[in-house]
Amino acid sequence: MVNLGNRCRPVARATGWLLLTALPAAAFGQGGTFSKYVVSAQEAHAADVGRDALRAGGNAIDAAVATAFALAVTLPEAGNLGGGGFIVAYLPGSREVVTLDFRETAPGSATPRMYLDPEGKLRPRHRAGAWAAGVPGTVRGLGDAHAKWGKLPWRDLVKPAARLAREGFPLSEELASALNGQLRPRNPDAPTGTPGRPAFQNRLVDFPESVAAYGKPDGQPWKGGERLVQADLAATLDRIAANGADEFYTGRTADLIAGYMFENGGSVTHKDLADYGAKERSPVHTTFRGCDVYGIGPASSGGIVLCQMLNILERYDLKADGPKSPRTLHRVTEAMRRAYYTRSTRIGDPDFVDVPFAELASKATADELAKSIDDSRATPSAELAPFPIMATEPDHTTHFSVVDGDGGAVAMTYTLEDSYGAKAVVKGAGFLLNNEMGDFNLRPGRTDDAGSIGTYPNQIAPGKRMLSSQCPTLVLKDGKVRLVTGSPGGRTIPNTTLWVVLNVLEFGLEPQAAVDAPRTHHQWFPDVLVLEGRDWPVETLKALSDMGHKWRIADRQGDANSVVVDLADGRLFGAPDARRATVKASGD
């Protein structure tokens, strides 16, 4: 918790707004300014729920809680009760930046090699089913956030989600198509693959409870506009609304989770659920171009990685060369490479590993890292490691950003890990389990050039939080909110967030242009620079190759739904990211 003292003043005293952003591809580049408040989310009904919380006099925390519960109904691929995440918030009353860690934890029976066979290979389908799940943190995190900082009654924030589940909501074309893909019957003659390398990805169709929860009652494919009703999920939300977050961890819902785990080879027990707790932690902090940047600390790597990259890049005049110049791209890549090396070797759950996060996010550490950057040559990633890198053997989240009428702000990212998590719905409870155990380093001691990391800080231990890349971020200028951002996207998340921050603070782009601009990604290993989009000039690609960069093109990176504030006049810009569809801006 950071007290910002008398420097903090509300961003907008008379008006409030909430941004949970993204707009459909057809509306690419269309943001907006608002006089009272706005909710913009990856799903329209959830956006309306958050807007209604603000209409009722709630603050940013209330709106975030209400929207998060609604997304658990209307965005099943990522919104969740069975997952976990992080909040970074600015509290205008106390003038503090606070963070809440509600990341999932390993069950009490977990061991470092639990997902390996006797030969050290990953067991088949280790990312699906009850066995893949950690202890969920979302409900406890939302409950603690509300208890600490919310205003409206808890019941009023959960009931709209229960109503959506009970009465149903019309499916978008995108969600109908996604569910049909998950529920399509398998070809019984299709190969099943070899141990450790299944020939297909698990889908909802592989789990009877998931088919019951998300399948159309007549067994036919879904069509856009048809209503999805989730009676079991509605009952679970009703219990949570009536009895608080404890119901999920010690009540009827806990019985359903533990029973499903016992019957399906999972590891989460009644005791694991009862023992789970969210943790308020100190934010990670640095400065960049005269602004204060606040991020989430371990068990997420996102805040440290972002701050370390910004600290390295602050020594360069990137604006002089422009965001797409070869020299800028080279310098950004080298900063990414070093920060992701730090991620892989120094960061884990701080309750189990000593993580000197203030030191890692410091200017002095960045100075040391920057000494090894050659402005004309790419550094081979293997040169950074003091241990051998082995040869190669033959991810879904959602982020939203909130600012209320008193200048309070929330950046929240939460996830099931893969799209639809473990693909397994808890029988009788109606929600999907996470498959977050796969975010641990599953092969202790094995780090290879394909990106498999086996370093100690993130190896499995009972009760330990798996390392995350989530990066909810607040940027303040003279104590006033300047930018709220973050993204889904697995290990790409800190780099997506970095580009939004650079585009706003370094390159001075307009809010929507800052979000729309192409992004890049490098994560130490694989030693490959990923360039988003297909409009990179041939001369730029050749220059990168001449410096020794190996690169490839990707169609899309991240979904950075952001809020930008013009501090000169207090205007509030919703800067939605159109890289994903099924979205809406809703406000007054």
**Cα separation, 82 vs 93, whole angstroms:** 32
Looking at residue 287, its pLDDT comes to: 98
Q: Domains of the chain: which residue ranges? A: 2-280+403-440, 282-395+469-560
Looking at residue 169, its pLDDT comes to: 97
Looking at residue 399, its pLDDT comes to: 83
Coil, helix or strand at residue 33:
strand
Looking at residue 336, its pLDDT comes to: 98
**Cα separation, 504 vs 515, whole angstroms:** 9
The residue type found at 2 is V
**Cα separation, 588 vs 579, whole angstroms:** 25
Looking at residue 157, its pLDDT comes to: 98
Rg of the chain over Cα atoms, rounded to whole angstroms, equals 23
Looking at residue 121, its pLDDT comes to: 87
**Cα separation, 127 vs 14, whole angstroms:** 48
In the block, residue with structure tokens 């009850």? 130
**Predicted TM-score (pTM) of this structure:** 0.90
* Kind and range of the H or E run holding 249: helix 246-250
Q: What is 282-395+469-560's CATH topology?
A: Serum Albumin; Chain A, Domain 1 (1.10.246)
CB 87 within 8 A of CB 145: yes
C-beta atoms surrounding 25 within 10 Å: 10
Looking at residue 449, its pLDDT comes to: 66
397 is catalytic: yes
**Cα separation, 416 vs 425, whole angstroms:** 12
Looking at residue 278, its pLDDT comes to: 98
- Catalytic residue, chosen from 397, 485, 492, 520, is 397
Count the alpha carbons within 13 Å of 192 in the hemisphere toward its beta carbon: 5
Closest CA to 444 of 425, 468, 461: 461
Looking at residue 485, its pLDDT comes to: 93
Closest CA to 519 of 536, 543, 539: 536
Low-confidence ranges of the chain (pLDDT < 50): 5-30, 191-199, 389-394, 585, 587-588
**Cα separation, 307 vs 282, whole angstroms:** 14
User: Could you give the angle at the alpha carbon of 71 between the alpha carbons of 158 and 48, nearest 5°?
Assistant: 75
